[in-house]
Structure 1
Amino acid sequence: MAGSRGVVLAALVANGAIAILKFLAFLLTGSPSMLSETYHSISDTGNQVFLLLGIRYSNKAVSREHPFGYGKAQFFYSFLVAVLLFGIAGWESVKHGYDAIVHGGHGAAGPVSVAGVTFPSWYVSVVVLFGAIGFESYAFAKANKELRRQINHYEWDGLRDAFRKTSDVTTLTAYTEDTIALLGAGIALVGILLSKATGNEIYDAISALIIGLLLMGFALALAWENKRLILGESLPAEIETELKTAIEAAPQVVHVDTFRTVYVGPQDVLVTTDVSFVPETEATDLDGLIDDIESRLVEVDDRVKHVYIEPEV
């Protein structure tokens, strides 16, 4: 949880500063891709606020109404990020880029004077975008470090496997968002430089459209990843097999009759199982045997936080 919070805070500071700079650049240049990038950074900033709300809400104490805690709040707020923030920002960017393509570019803005120094307006966009790439690289490095730590800890086969199996949607969202932000800044930079080199503003407008499509695609992908966890996904089959094997290896266990797992929060798994013990097992011994099984399950996977065992003798 601490790692996720650090990732989100780093992204919040970076995106807040970048959003202001990009908007100022748009006001000075009128660039369609800079407006798309402004939408992008505003949505990224709102994204971090929602994720922090999810982290804070998920830390609420267990209650009668929520006996397994509020961990799924992070799934819900990440879903809101996808639908409300990235979806809206992506749509606005696509609409603005399409309008610029159909009705013509914004035209070349005049020179900009700052502190008595005059320079072409497109310099502003280029400088801001390079600054954005620098900020986003810092945020991306934080998210990448945390995601790589989880990959090594759970022995996943790279990023693709992590995206399919992780329950830490906060880190997943921040990582993907930072990746898209770097791509978006690069696309905007290419569009602006091509427009400057050719004198044709269509490249800037096309960049805005591509950035919007990128955002909308990410919104759909992120919503899909959160859907599986909101609906109650189990641990991967290979992990469940390891957990059942650990139970079967425990003293006096004959057979695992039923076995189920489900995520009740990020890195927080509920396990329920019916276990058959040898007929000679004394009722007074069951507490110790069950405690031993619980310890074995946590040793196999530290995401197991809640264990319910129904003994059958």
Structure 2
Amino acid sequence: MAGSKSVVLAALIANGAIAVLKFGAFLLTGSPSMLSETYHSISDTGNQVFLLVGIRYSGKSPNREHPFGYGKAQFFYSFLVSVLLFGIAGWESLKHGYDAILHGHSAAPGMVTFAGYTFDAVYVSVAVLLGAIAFESYAFVKAHAELRRQMNEYGWSGLVEAFRTTSDVTTLTAFTEDAIALGGAVVALVGIVLTRVTGNHIYDAVSAAVIGVLLMFFALALAWENKRLLLGESVPAGREAEFESIIADHPGVEHVDRFRTMFVGPTDILVTADVSFAADLDTGGIDDDIARIDEKLRAHDERVSFVYIEPEL
């Protein structure tokens, strides 16, 4: 959880500063790409706030209304982030880029005077985007390091498997946002430079539209990944088989009749099982065995937070 929070905080600081700089560059140049990037960074900054709210809210203790805790709050807020990323940043960027393609908007070639020096205003956009690439690279590396740590811990084969199986949607969302932000800044930089060199507005305009399409695509992918967890996804098949084997191999257990798991939070797993114990075990012996099975499951995976075993004699 601490790793996820630090990832989000790093992204929040980076995106907040970049949003201000990008908007200033847009005001100076009128570049469609810079406006798309401004939408993007403003949306990302707000999204990090939502993720932090989700982290804080999910830390509440279980109670009667929520016996398994509030861990799923992170799934909800991450889903909300994907909707906002699609609806605000993605759609607005695509719409503005499309309008620029039709009407010929591009970065203005005006001059700017600062501290006694006069220079092309387009260089402001270039400088801001280079700074954005540096900031986003830092945030991306931090998010990737946390995701890589989880990949090593749980034995995932790569980023694709991590994207499909991780329950830490906060880190996943931050990683995805940082990747899009980095890619968007590069696309905007290429479009603005090509427009400045060739004098053709289309490169800047198309870059703005491409940024919008990227945002909308990844927003849909994030929404889909959050949906599986909101609906109550079980742990990956391999890890679930390990849990079941721990129960089945315990002395006194004859058979595991029914077995279920579910993520009830990014770091909380619910394990339930109907277990047939040996007929010669008394009630006290079964209680002791259930307690030991509980300990084994928690020792095998620290995310196991709730264990319910129903004995079948």
Describe how 1:182-197 pairs up with structure 2 within 5 A.
182-197=182-197
Q: By how many angstroms is 1:87 displaced?
A: 2.6
Q: Distance in 1 between matches of 2:152 and 2:178?
A: 21
Verify the 8 A CA contact 1:260 1:273 in the aligned structure 2: yes
Q: Distance in 2 between matches of 1:108 and 1:49?
A: 34
Which residue does 2:56 correspond to in 1?
56
Q: Distance in 2 between matches of 1:256 and 1:86?
A: 44
Q: By how many angstroms is 1:61 displaced?
A: 1.6
What is the one-letter code of the residue matched to 2:100? A
Q: Distance in 2 between matches of 1:150 and 1:274?
A: 31
Which residue does 1:23 correspond to in 2?
23
Verify the 8 A CA contact 2:33 2:208 in the aligned structure 1: yes
Runs of 4+ in 1 over 4 A off after TM superposition: none
Q: Deviations over 1:155-182 (max 9, x none)?
A: 0011001011100000000000000000
Which residue does 2:273 correspond to in 1?
273
1:132 aligns with 2:166: no
- 2:281 is paired with a residue whose SS is coil
Q: What is the RMSD computed on CA atoms of the aligned residues? A: 0.9
Task: Name the count of aligned residue pairs.
Answer: 313
What is the one-letter code of the residue matched to 1:245? S
TM-score, scaled to structure 2:
0.98
Q: By how many angstroms is 1:153 displaced?
A: 0.2
- 1:66 is paired with a residue whose SS is coil
Which residue does 2:299 correspond to in 1?
299
What is the one-letter code of the residue matched to 2:240? E
Describe how 1:26-105 pairs up with structure 2 within 5 A.
26-105=26-105
Moved more, 142-151 or 80-89: 80-89
Q: Distance in 2 between matches of 1:86 and 1:56?
A: 24
Verify the 8 A CA contact 1:272 1:308 in the aligned structure 2: yes
Verify the 8 A CA contact 2:256 2:274 in the aligned structure 1: yes
What is the one-letter code of the residue matched to 1:15? N
Verify the 8 A CA contact 1:30 1:109 in the aligned structure 2: no
Which residue does 1:111 correspond to in 2?
111
- 2:61 is paired with a residue whose SS is coil
1:250 aligns with 2:243: no
Label 1:297 to 1:22 Cα distance change in 2 as closer, same or farther (>3 A): same
**Which sections of structure 1, spanning at least 5 residues, go unmatched?**
none
Moved more, 103-112 or 154-163: 103-112
TM-score, scaled to structure 1:
0.98
Q: Distance in 2 between matches of 1:29 and 1:158?
A: 41
Q: Deviations over 1:112-147 (max 9, x none)?
A: 111111000110000000000011011111101100
Verify the 8 A CA contact 2:85 2:216 in the aligned structure 1: no
Q: Distance in 2 between matches of 1:236 and 1:145?
A: 22
What is the one-letter code of the residue matched to 1:43? S
Label 1:100 to 1:84 Cα distance change in 2 as closer, same or farther (>3 A): same
Moved more, 104-113 or 143-152: 104-113
Which residue does 2:208 correspond to in 1?
208
Q: Distance in 2 between matches of 1:240 and 1:180?
A: 33
Q: Distance in 1 between matches of 2:44 and 2:193?
A: 25
Q: Distance in 2 between matches of 1:61 and 1:244?
A: 28
Identity %: 70
Q: By how many angstroms is 1:107 displaced?
A: 5.9
